[in-house]
Structure 1
Amino acid sequence: MSNWLYLHLRAIAQASGRLARQPLGTLLSALVMGIALSLPAGGYLLLDNVASMARGVSGTPEISVFMDAAAAAEDAAAIEKRLRADPQLASFRFVPRDEALKQLAAGGLGDVLGGLESNPLPDAFVVTLRTGDPEVFDTLAAQMRAWPKVAHVQLDSGWVKRLHALLALGRSAVVMLAALLGFALVIVTFNTIRLQIMTQRNEIEVSRLLGATDPFIRRPFYWFGSLQGMLGGLVALGAVWLGVMGLSAPVAALAETYGAVFALSGPQWPESVAIVLFAAFLGWLGAEISVRRHLAGT
């Protein structure tokens, strides 16, 4: 194990030295990879922020459960018991028919309602869920419609379905963009490692004559590609954070026009680690392909 660790540390030192000896080329490669990776990373982050802002502006979606006009207090109590027992519900409130009539009258319909002989409005429950998943809304609404003395169930989830559909479309576009740019970055690393192999051809031949194994020769190239990818990932993180800082004030001003308080958030540490590791993987993959293609012929 100690020998394995020593060989990898030695390969890391060699790769780091090669990167340091060509600072301009290393910087340009890191900038190319970082800018390319910042596009899908920033797009995914933007989608998450848009989802959070939309939920804050539009409010929490609700389900309204309207009781039958002939329902008694015992029937409402039975429905309330069912709602309390459902772990998927965040909260609910009971709206008696008299209170609903008063709310309508206060909303400017007093003259119209004054001519009615009796209150036509039913008792109702307004239910808030713990999740915004449209499938959960539809499932619970179907269950509630089957409850006794329930006349109608109304979902306030149309905007939730549209939001989920738009976010799913956006995420698919981000994944496609990441795949295309990732392929391009693999090609960049492939060519970089190919040039490294060509410039070190004589050194590689001498190492083989001295008994060096193929893993020993290949290891520094793998680390060269991985380290180059990690540098690109760090550049991508920096670009994303610059974008977040630049857009924070305009986004806050936009949210204020809707009466909401919203702060644009940058990538958290799990997302940051994932970006750097993904960039390192792309660098390793390009190095792997290039080494297998060109080192065998040296």
Structure 2
Amino acid sequence: MTTPEPQPSDREPAEPAQSTESTEPADSAASSEPSEPSVVSDSPATSEPADSPATASAASAASEGSEGSAAASAGPAASGPKYADRIYRSTSGFVGGALILALACWLGIDAVAVGEGNTPWLALAALLFLVPLVAAYTLVPAVYANEDRLRVRNPFRTITLPWGRVVSLRSGYTNEVFSDDGDKYQLWALPVSLRARKRATRRDPRVTGGRTPGTEASRRGVAPGAPDRSAGVDRAPTDRSMDELRELHKNRGGEASAQGEVSVRWSYEIIAPSLAGAVLLAVLLGLG
């Protein structure tokens, strides 16, 4: 006994093979109906809805990754810009040292070129001994300050002090910085000039008779309501530099980036040639 095969219903669309082989016009209703299932079945992009859970999770993961990368790239910028060090040095000392070195080199080269006997060797030994010392006391001294630390370059050593380790900066007959270990370091690049202090004192309206009863501005000789600028005028240059360093210490001393260890490095590049020149000069003078 055989089971009869089911006949296709009038409402069931025809197979795709029959639709492709059909010779009816493209705008007929019978050929357009079976063509739609073939297009849907052949397209891989429509196999999963756009708002499915897998697509939503992938989109959320991509958005989180992009936000994380954006935050990582914005991290250094959010910490704030880093500025170059402020450099303090004695201009007069630098210029004077350059002139002394030029004169010493001129005399030494002349002695080497035209000298007789031991004179050229004595000139070379003197240059080897004096040039590093002159440079150490005139060209080398400088103070570098930024938001995190203070670096003091003295003639024979360089001291690096984070602001968190600085206790105070004092000005007397010399300018000095004190660390929390009790050590004192002199600031060779900021020499104290008593003459400059006296000259600044003579320019101070409070000393020259500009005092009148009233507010602090009037006591400084400034008209009421006008900006008081005498605080930056009646100070010697090195004293103004020390005021800037104290302000940096006050504002940055408690920051986490301004903590660390105090380091001291000796300037062997100056000590070694000067010591060698001194030994050579003593030997030559001893031999006559």
TM bucket, shorter chain: under 0.3
Structure with a larger share of its residues in strand: 2
Bigger relative CO (Cα 8 Å, ≥ 6 apart): 1
The alignment's TM-score, normalised by the length of structure 2, stands at 0.24
Structure with a larger share of its residues in helix: 1
The alignment's TM-score, normalised by the length of structure 1, stands at 0.24
